[in-house]
Structure formats: C-alpha cells, structure tokens
Structure 1
C-alpha cells in the first residue's frame, strides 16, 4: 500500500526538503546544506529539529527493497552516492543539523545560492515565471502584459499579495543586472523580458503593475 500524503509528510516531509536541497549538487556539497539551513533559520527554525529526527529515524530503520517497490517508504532520490553509503550520509546530515540547533549557528543572510533556495524563498514568483513566462508564452499570449493580466485575473488576491512581498524582497537584495537575469532563469522564466527592459527594470515594472 503506497504512502498517503499525511503519512508521507508526518514521517518524511522535512527529510524530503533536506534531500531536495541537495539535488543538482554532490551529496557532500556544503553550499546545498548551507542554503537549506539559511532558509530554515530565516522562516521556520523549528523545522531543523524535525528534519534531524526524520533523517535519523530513516537511517536507523532503512526500508527493504520490497517495501520501497510497493511505495510504502520514502525513496531517497539520486544524490550521487552508492546505495551502501546513503545511510551513513543521512546520519552525517542529522548530526550536522543537531549541532546547528544546539549551537544556534545560523548561516549569515545572503542572496540565494542554489536552485532549491531560490524557489524556497520566492515560491509565488517562481509560480508566475515558470507558469506564465515559459518558452510557450509566445504561443499562449500576445505579449508579457497579456500573460501578467491572465495571472492576475486567475490568482487569489492573497497570493498576489505574497508575490508583491517576494518582489520587494528580491529587489531589496544587492544584485547586479546579471544577478537579476540569473534570478529570473532560476525561477523558471524562459523568455526574455520586454525589449525595452533590463531584467531588474522588468522586475520593478512587475511589482508596480500588480493590483
């Protein structure tokens, strides 16, 4: 019997966040773990202890192949390690998280450094850019304004307010134009900004046009 959503989140929800923060990086990449810790200390520091417990429980009670095949356990995504090394790596992660909580050693605030951190910090902006400004945008909308209007017309006002906050947060960061271009790409935008706008100027224009 496969995992139900509630059971998944209760047993593996925060473990999953730690693992996904490492996707696209080597398992022992400090940048990936630092990005996870920086975001959690900023938004929900209690989650670090939850992740530590879930990582340790999973490492101490690894699933057999049959239960994984049946979908009864969380399958660890590929992080570039042989199966025989996964258990040790999970324990090492748990130890690092435990040390972080016990010492209160939070990473210094910084611009997002990984794909996971960009989306964790700016989820609604990622939803807008990835959903309305993908490579299919020219086939679906007349121009950038039409795409934005479609997003606004079909999106809950609370989410639009969240987007305004995320844009304000992003624009407050000390970024160069190349950094703004990187942010747009990391968050899913696959088309260029309108011809007359730089990446940073278009982000400012987006913020100004939201209701």
Structure 2
C-alpha cells in the first residue's frame, strides 16, 4: 500500500525536492565540488526556505543508510529515486556525497550569494506563478485559444485567485529587477514555459513590464469607490 501524503512528506518530501533539481542535469557531485544541480538547490533554498536544508540532509542520509528493496518499492512503501544518469550501484554513494555537501553548507554557514537562476528547476522554484501563467496560458496552443496576448492575460486574471495574481506581479518585478540582457530574458520566459513570441511591438523584457502594468491596473480597478485605494 502506498504511503499517505503526510508520511511521505515527513520521510521523503525534501529528498524529492533535491532530486527534482537534478532533472535534465548530471548528478556529477564530487566530495569537493557540488554539481550544478545541487548548487541551484542550495542557492534557492538558502534564500527561500533555509530551515528545509537540515530536513534534506537528514532524509537523504537516512535513505542512503536504509535503501529500499525492490519489493517495498513496488508496493509504494518507499520513495523511488528517479533516473539521474547513474548506475543503480552508484546511487547510494552519490546520496552520501550530496548529504555531506548539505551538512557542510549548514554547519559552515556557506550561503550562496543571490544570483540569476541557472537551471530549469531553479527558474520554476523562484518564479512558480510566472511559470504557471506562461506554461498554462502561453503554450503553442495559445493562438488557437485566444485572439491575442492580452486576452490570454485577461483569462488568467479573471480565473485566478487575486492573491496569486498579486504574487505573480511580485515575481514579474523581481525578474525585471535582475536587469538581464534581452537574449537572457527570452531564454528565461522560454524556460518558464512560454512557447510563443511576445507581441511584435515588445521585447521580452518590455512585454514583462507591460504585463506587470496591466495586472497592476486591473488590481486597482477592482477597488470600489471610497476604498483605501482612493
């Protein structure tokens, strides 16, 4: 019988977050050098959820000490580590290396400086609501579903909780504050799920700024007469 969500999260929730950071990347951690994937996890988690690092170290080390057998994996009683490009015989040693890096980072206070996201996982971990908008409303099917970009944004804002729309606005301003090159903004929105080009009159950053302004104007328009917004 598969584990219930609460039990899974207690035992493997943060382990799964770490492993997710390796999707599409190499698990090439060395004892003296964390992989690009682990560096991305450390960089984001230190600044967003620093308390989770200790849970990750504990869960990974415990899993490596007591790896599940095939039967228990088939019954859903243990977390099955996805394919990270390593032979099965090397997984256990690799997990110990990862746990050691996490432990050293915590004990020595090695906090990575803020930085532009460098991996697919890190982009989505840092800008989750923007990824939701771009991946859900601006896929390659967008021209068949909406007459233009503004219509897609209107649909998003009218069907999404206002608190999530506000979160999106914050993410847009944070992304624009990175002051990237236009080519890097194009790569960023593609990494976050956008499969169509911005409207012709906008550069990628220009459209993100227009999007932030549009959503901000819509939020102000929701205030009634005599409200605090007046």
Q: Same fold (TM over 0.5)?
A: yes
CA–CA distance in 2 between the matches of 1:95 and 1:102?
10
CA–CA distance in 1 between the matches of 2:38 and 2:112?
10
Match of 2:50 among 45, 54, 61: 45
CA–CA distance in 2 between the matches of 1:187 and 1:113?
12
CA displacement at 1:31 relative to structure 2: 1.4
**Alignment partner of 1:184 is 2:189:** yes
CA–CA distance in 2 between the matches of 1:96 and 1:105?
10
CA displacement at 1:122 relative to structure 2: 0.1
CA displacement at 1:8 relative to structure 2: 1.4
**Greater helix share, structure number:** 1
- Aligned Cα root-mean-square deviation (Å): 0.8
CA–CA distance in 2 between the matches of 1:55 and 1:200?
39
Q: How does 1:114-193 map to 2 (within 5 A)?
A: 114-193=119-198
2:223 is aligned to none
CA displacement at 1:131 relative to structure 2: 0.3
| Greater Cα radius of gyration, structure 1 or 2 | 2
1:25 is aligned to 25
Report how many residues are paired.
Answer: 211
* Structure 1: stretches of 5+ with no match in the other structure: none
2:59 is aligned to 54
CA–CA distance in 2 between the matches of 1:130 and 1:10?
30
CA–CA distance in 2 between the matches of 1:14 and 1:27?
17
CA–CA distance in 2 between the matches of 1:115 and 1:3?
29
CA displacement at 1:109 relative to structure 2: 1.2
CA displacement at 1:3 relative to structure 2: 2.0
CA–CA distance in 2 between the matches of 1:198 and 1:149?
20
* Structure 2: stretches of 5+ with no match in the other structure: 30-34, 220-230
1:92 is aligned to 97
CA displacement at 1:61 relative to structure 2: 0.8
For 1:101-141, what per-residue CA distance to the aligned partner results, in whole angstroms no more than 9, with x for missing partners?
A: 00000112110000000000000000000000001111111
**Alignment partner of 1:103 is 2:97:** no
